[in-house]
Structure formats: C-alpha cells, structure tokens
Amino acid sequence: MSSTQTNPHHEPPTLAFRLLALLSRPLVQGFFRARASGVEHLPEGGFVLCANHLSGWDPWALCHPLYPRQPRFLVKAELFASPFVPLLQALGMFPVSSGDSVAAAVRHVTAGRIVLVFPEGARRRNRVLRPRSGGARIALGAGAPLVPAAVHGTEQVSPLTPWRVAFGPPVPLDDLASIPVTVAAREATRRVWEQVLALESTLS
C-alpha cells in the first residue's frame, strides 16, 4: 500500500493493518499495478467514502492509496464469529446488521476516521443494484464529507488488468440540513452515486 496521507495528526493504523499493508504491497503494486487518481480531493478529517463494488478485492484497492490512514468497514455480521472477532476489529471491520451500526460508524467519522461504504450492498456479479442510503445517513449524522470513489479491474485476477481507483471531491450536503433525514439521505445518495458512476466511466 502506498503512503499518500502523511498528516501527523491522523490516528496511526493498528499493528494488524500495518502488517497486512506490508505483506500485500508487492501484490497490489507489482502484480495488480494499482494506480489512483484524485487523492487530492480526500479531506484531512473524518469522512464517508462511497464506492462501487465489483469484487472482494475492492477494499484492498481502495486502502492502497489511503495508507497509512486506516478505513473502517461495514461488513456482514456473519463474518463476526469467534475467535476471529478481535482480528476483524483490528483490521477496522464492524458488523453492518447491528442496530447500532450507523451510530458506530458516525462515532468513527467524528473521531476523524474514514468509513468505507459500498452502497450497492453486495458485489454486482452482472446485476444492476440500487444504491442504499446508509453511507449518506452516516455522513449526515456526523456532519462530515461524503466522498465518491470508483474502482476498476478488481473483478479480474490478472496482471493484464491493472487496478484503477479514482476519488472525486465531496458532494455538497449543506443544503440538506433543514429537510427530513429520510429525504436528505435519499438525495445525498443520489448525488454521491451519480458521481461514483461518473468516476467509474472514466476508468473503463
């Protein structure tokens, strides 16, 4: 994983995340030839990062340009089975099905961390999936930026298909503060997803 975020005020990654980054760097940089654009759009403080979801490799591709900042991930609750819970937590994961999952995500963002959300909720697998509003609800609840991102190439495990990541500027949310949360979240989701798809089209 690369080192593009060097603000000394950022919370250092956990030991488990640092080890994973070290071990995966040759694979991500060498085999997959990962490249990222738009890193200059990433806010210094906490924010919600919304991206398309092509494969299980997507978090790796997105973490590469974010390192040494360690994102937090909403993952399926079924993955949280003993004795792996401590490791999953050290890697930044927390269960999406918990009733407190949005509140937990808001706490992470307000603490200055990145929360990574895949609004599609699952890998596409040649399906058209409607984006969900969870990421927008987190950003609105935390009063934090909602940042679009797109990945390309992660669905192909081949050095012939390099990984590409693009980040866009945060979508405007200030005008949504005075309207009902459900309506605001729906509109914020529409805005960020429009930008995710626009970014994705530049990578294909």
Residue 123, token pair as written in the block: 């890998």
Q: Over the stretch 109-120, which tens digit does the pLDDT of each residue have?
A: 999 999 999 999
- Alpha-carbon 111 to chain mean position: 16
Q: Over the stretch 59-90, which tens digit does the pLDDT of each residue have?
A: 999 999 999 999 999 887 777 777 888 999 99
Task: Give the number of other Cβ atoms within 10 Å of residue 126's Cβ.
Answer: 6
Helix (H) or strand (E) holding 88: helix 85-90
According to CATH, what is the number of the domain 15-203? 3.40.1130.10
Residue 121's contacts (CB-CB under 8 Å, 6 or more residues apart) are 53, 129, 132
List beta partners, residue 94. Answer: 74
Instruction: Please state the φ and ψ torsions of residue 200, each to the nearest 5 degrees.
Output: -60, -40
Q: Domain boundaries in the chain?
A: 15-203
The pTM of the full predicted model, rounded to 2 decimals, is 0.91
Helix (H) or strand (E) holding 139: helix 134-142
Mean pLDDT of the region 39-43: 97
Confidence of residue 7 (pLDDT cuts 50, 70, 90): low
